[in-house]
Amino acid sequence: MREYLKFYIGGEWVDALGPHTMDIVNPATEEVCGRVAVGSAADVDRAVAAARKAFAGWSVTGREERLEVLRSILDEYQKRGGDLAAALTEEMGAPASLAGGFQVGLGAGHLAKAIEVLEDFAFEERRGATLVVKEPIGVCGLITPWNWPMNQIAVKVFPALATGCTMVLKPSERSPFTGQIMAEILGAAGVPAGVFNLVQGDGPSAGVPLSAHPGVDMISFTGSTRAGIEIARNAASGVKRVTQELGGKSPNIVLDDEDLAANVAAGVATMMGNSGQTCSAPSRTLVPAARMGEAVAAAREAAERVTVGDPNGDVVIGPVVSASQFEKIQALIQKGVDEGATLVAGGTGRPDGLEKGYYVKPTVFANVTNDMTIAREEIFGPVATIIGYDDVDHAVEIANDTEYGLAGYVAGADLDQARAVARRIRAGWVAVNDGFDFGSPFGGYKKSGNGREWGEFGFHDYLEIKGILGYAPDDAAS
């Protein structure tokens, strides 16, 4: 059993000041697999003080020094890939193939992209007699979720390091193991003392003190919209910058062409990945109403191909992360039945043969209307909904009829049409025919948040912009 009772503060592993610990439950077995110290306001104070002390030196380092540190982190990260994968499987139930593949691979990909961006990033720009300078914002509080731990740690920690910021990371209390290993990686890579600090804990114990702390200049949060609103309130008194990547209810518009069945199946498979626990997942599949029968058949077949079981075995999906998440998903599946949607695959209860663990049946609903609960609320489980549309204008109208705007998807053989539809979706990240790019901006419209992560765009929120007027009056006059 894992036991992590120390926090990484000021370049050292130190005892937690608070007296409390929490048990971590393996969602596949429902058994305790670890114990982690719960941070307190005093622990946050200590971590912020270390970050403030380190900021004076790290903020004025040159590009090459930061690049050297980031490259060293990449070397250490690659050495610990197996450890990270094992931790992911244990703490959140990610199947071994997913944990050691895309989950760990996302962290490495974002780190490599941060290095590439930093090599050429323009921190200064002359505009006539004025010099425009981009400077690190200061001490950053980074609060990350449990569903894609390495992705979310990577898109916050690495841009912060690259831009000269110092930070305090609070990982989700549901996936603390990977955060602990990441701290070990950064320490081994030679990140200077106090530049990166780790405090574990839940929202009330550590998240609230961090977001409200007067010594923190910026908060970057990924999680639910409800929690994001509270974090913004906590941060408001300090007028600190707050960036958020929150919930989603993303549309997947499948265009009316010969590839409809294949595109529906691909969308359902994407929805089921990571047990449906992805904020940007294509949870609303929109198909031509006249071809609902074809879409249902393709979706049913795709769902039935999704194997569920022990994440240490050869399965597509493992359990969802917790008992509370399991119960929420079960209630929403039942809500779909009660509100009259057609249950195509799956349903309530565990899959056959799985009596222990938070396993959910891969579920598909058809003939869904966009006013149903399962079309409005983020389920965060392996549950796909299929909604019919009359024409493309109707599809776009349905797609945008949501309080969220994190992501969208368009699938179709006519690339020009798919591009035109993508432009009309009110979301921050839209994939045409399964496009993917580490350099793309990622973030949401509306209640899906503000700010952007990934690639060059992920640097901007960690920078202040200064104009130095009269910097070069002689050159400006010539």
Residues of the chain with CATH 3.40.309.10: 251-432
Kindly report the average pLDDT of the chain as a whole number.
97
How, if at all, do strands 139-143 and 218-222 pair? parallel
Give the pLDDT mean for 403-417: 98
Q: How confident is the model at residue 478 (pLDDT cuts 50, 70, 90)?
A: very low
Q: How confident is the model at residue 475 (pLDDT cuts 50, 70, 90)?
A: low
User: Of 90, 165, 173, 279, which one is the catalytic site residue?
Assistant: 279
Cα first-last separation, the chain: 71
Give the pLDDT mean for 179-189: 98
Q: Look at residue 171 in the predicted model and tell me its pLDDT.
A: 98
Fold of 2-246+448-467: Aldehyde Dehydrogenase; Chain A, domain 1 (3.40.605)
Give the model confidence (pLDDT) of 113-162 as tens digits: 999 999 999 999 999 999 999 999 999 999 999 999 999 999 999 999 99
247, two tokens: 């919930």
Q: How far apart are CA 299 and CA 304, in angstroms?
A: 9
Contact yes or no for 266/233 (Cβ under 8 A): no
Residue 279 a catalytic site member: yes
Among candidates 209, 161, 210, which has minimal Cα distance to 182?
161
Give the model confidence (pLDDT) of 5-61 as tens digits: 999 999 999 999 989 999 999 999 999 999 999 999 999 999 999 999 999 999 999
Give the model confidence (pLDDT) of 307-345 as tens digits: 999 999 999 999 999 999 999 999 999 999 999 999 999
Chain-centroid distance of CA 257 in Å reads: 33
Percent of all residues in the chain with a pLDDT value above 90, rounded to a whole number:
98
Q: Facing residues of 36 across strands?
A: 4, 22
Q: How far apart are CA 173 and CA 178, in angstroms?
A: 11
Give the model confidence (pLDDT) of 88-120 as tens digits: 999 999 999 999 999 999 999 999 999 999 999
DSSP-derived 3-state class of residue 396:
helix
Give the pLDDT mean for 347-368: 98
Architecture of domain 251-432: 3-Layer(aba) Sandwich (3.40)
Q: Look at residue 304 in the predicted model and tell me its pLDDT.
A: 97
424, two tokens: 């009309």
305, two tokens: 């191909």
Q: How far apart are CA 142 and CA 324, in angstroms?
A: 24
Q: What is the residue-wise DSSP string for 98-150?
A: HIIIIIHHHHHHHHHHHHHHHHH--SEEEETTEEEEEEE--EEEEE--SSSHH
Residues of the chain with CATH 3.40.605.10: 2-246+448-467
Among candidates 458, 461, 374, 444, which has minimal Cα distance to 225?
444
Q: How far apart are CA 156 and CA 443, in angstroms?
A: 13
| Residue 474 confidence (pLDDT) above 80 | no
Q: How confident is the model at residue 473 (pLDDT cuts 50, 70, 90)?
A: confident
Contact yes or no for 319/328 (Cβ under 8 A): no
User: Of 90, 91, 173, 245, which one is the catalytic site residue?
Assistant: 245
Whether this prediction's pTM lies above 0.75 is answered by yes
| Residue 374 confidence (pLDDT) above 90 | yes
Percent of all residues in the chain with a pLDDT value above 70, rounded to a whole number:
99
| Residue 463 confidence (pLDDT) above 80 | yes
Give the pLDDT mean for 221-250: 96
